[in-house]
Amino acid sequence: MFFQHVYDKSLAQASYLIGCQAKGEAIVIDAQRDMDVYLKIAEQNNLKITHIAETHIHADFLAGSRELAAVTGAKLYLSDEGGEDWQYQFDHVGLKHGDVIRVGNLTLEVLHTPGHTPESISFLLTDNPATSEPVMIFTGDFVFVGDIGRPDLLEKAAGIVGTQEKGAKQMFQSVQRFAELAPFIQVWPGHGAGSACGKDLGAVPSSTVGYEKIRNWAFQYEHDEAGFVDYLLEGQPEPPKYFAMMKHLNKVERPLLVEVPQHILLSADAFKKAYADGIKVIDTRNKVDFAKGFFPGSINIQHNNSLATWAGWVLNYQEQFILVAKPDEMEEITRKLMRIGLDNIYGFVSDVKDLGIELQTADVIDLATFKTYLGKDDVQIVDVRNSKEYHDGHIEGAEHVFVGTLQDNLDKISKDKQVVIHCQSGDRAAIAYSILGRNGFDDVKNYSGGMKEWLANGGKTV
């Protein structure tokens, strides 16, 4: 048996290529959209991708299953569980609980594991030449290392009212059935630490059924459904705004993108015209470089592993946008953005200077200056971290407006007071600062050191 774990750090998303070397056949589970990685792995190992499967209709990334099928001719194997509202609306081989997929000498048994979503399935793998016992289970967003999938996304992200409690109760039943599996079976989940699909995912890529029964909180509520439901729904992070769009696009027919696009380096004249026409500018430079000089109205989303997530919060799927980025980083940036369907890149510029546009600088303050603003009636301190971070401890007097929802809550920011913003260590505050600037808030200061520096220097929280 051939096995390859493919991990996208930018979305903390795992996919898998499993092959039967004797027959030369392979299956890909939960493919990312830039699917050339699987073609390379298959070619290097003399395998042909013949099967493509998904564990559920994903909300956090745009699955590349259809792109991969278009290029390879492989069949799509997708869940037909969950009822008519949870059916994929394009051609596929439908899967029900107990069905078996055969990939050469390998078999994958389908287990219906609802809770995260009604149609969620897992794949129980048996390497038949080696053993008659299952050896791996691919759980998608059902069981993670140290955590389980959240059942509230359909309600919070997609607006389907009344689904989170029902999903939590379904998850309780699915967890009980999972606990009956042999303890030696390896668990390969769809996400790792940093994903918004759970609240406390482990950093290691895989586990075993036995280990999860000992260490995963979800298996400690064997006879307490109410306690399980309460804990599961409590303290989940805000689901990124783009999740609703992913849920839709992964279910319906959509245009396919079988190659990573290349984008043009805009001339000064082309950029100035587009900029004057109001096309949004996303500046991917480091926050320190951005603060020293940026296009007025541009938004600073740094090129790091969180780029796609924050872009999904800030951008919509109808608008074009221009990137400020290094030419040698454009392919990686494009891949990260296309993984959540942000394809409307108008072009990019690599330098903000010498384009004929007067630059602005950010008003970044240090800890000593920040302290001088505390407790003043004419100052509004705004903490832009997520709600759990804020409720776990914040600076006295600080108001909470999460950066991800800031654009929808501008009425909570005062135009009559001195506004001072902060986050944990400066990255999210840089996004918030640029969003406020774009929306006409001129009297804003950014305490970039944030809670990290505050606490390190003896600052107190409430």
Q: Where are the domains of the chain?
A: 2-249, 268-349, 364-456
Fold assignment, 364-456: Oxidized Rhodanese; domain 1 (3.40.250)
pLDDT at 158: 66
CA-closest candidate to residue 28, choices 81, 87, 78, 94: 78
Residue 331, both tokens: 């392919």
Which CATH class, in words, describes the domain spanning 2-249?
Answer: alpha beta
CA distances in angstroms from 368 to 85, 356, 365, 449, 453, listed in the order given: 56, 36, 8, 11, 11
> Distance between CA 40 and CA 38 in Å, rounded?
5
Q: What average pLDDT does the segment 5-21 reach?
A: 97
pLDDT tens track for 409-457: 999 999 999 999 999 999 999 999 999 999 999 999 999 999 999 999 9
CATH number of 268-349: 3.40.250.10
Decide if pLDDT at 13 tops 70. yes
Give me the residues paired with residue 101 across strands: 108
> Residue 115 in contact with residue 151, Cβ under 8 Å?
yes
- CB-side neighbour CA atoms (13 Å) of 16: 25
pLDDT at 248 over 80: yes
Given pLDDT bands bounded at 50, 70 and 90, which one contains residue 381?
A: very high
Of the candidates 231, 152, 240, 228, the one whose C-alpha atom is nearest the C-alpha of residue 194 is: 240
Tell me whether domains 268-349 and 364-456 share a fold: yes
pLDDT reported for residue 333 = 98
pLDDT band at 238 (very low <50, low <70, confident <90, very high): confident
Sign of CA dihedral 191, 62, 31, 283: negative
Output the pTM of the full model.
0.94
Kindly state the helix (H) or strand (E) to which residue 209 belongs, with its residue range: helix 209-215
**pLDDT bracket for residue 310 (50, 70, 90):** very high
